[in-house]
């Protein structure tokens, strides 16, 4: 996956050796769930990440204002 730029800086990737339980290859897909229940996500990983970061920034700003 490409790095996603959301905070104005590029993410740094720290690769480690393969760990027990790591999935090296996957052939998983979403076609089955789309066919079964008709659900298909309408948001990209980049959009979701931006939404999450914006929400965290908003929450943090509220916490700072109330002194939490």
Tens digits of residue pLDDT in 10-68: 777 888 999 999 999 888 888 888 899 988 888 888 888 888 888 998 998 888 777 65
* Dmax (CA) of the chain: 49
Q: What is the pTM of this model?
A: 0.52
Q: How many residues does the chain have?
A: 68
Q: Running DSSP on this structure, what letter comes out for residue 43?
A: S
């Amino acid at each position: 996956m490409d790095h996603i730029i959301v905070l104005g800086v590029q993410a740094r990737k720290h690769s480690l050796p393969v760990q027990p339980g790591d999935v090296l290859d996957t052939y998983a897909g979403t076609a089955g769930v789309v066919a079964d229940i008709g659900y298909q996500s309408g948001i990209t990983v980049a959009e979701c990440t931006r939404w999450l970061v914006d929400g965290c920034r908003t929450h943090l700003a509220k916490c700072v204002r109330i002194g939490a």
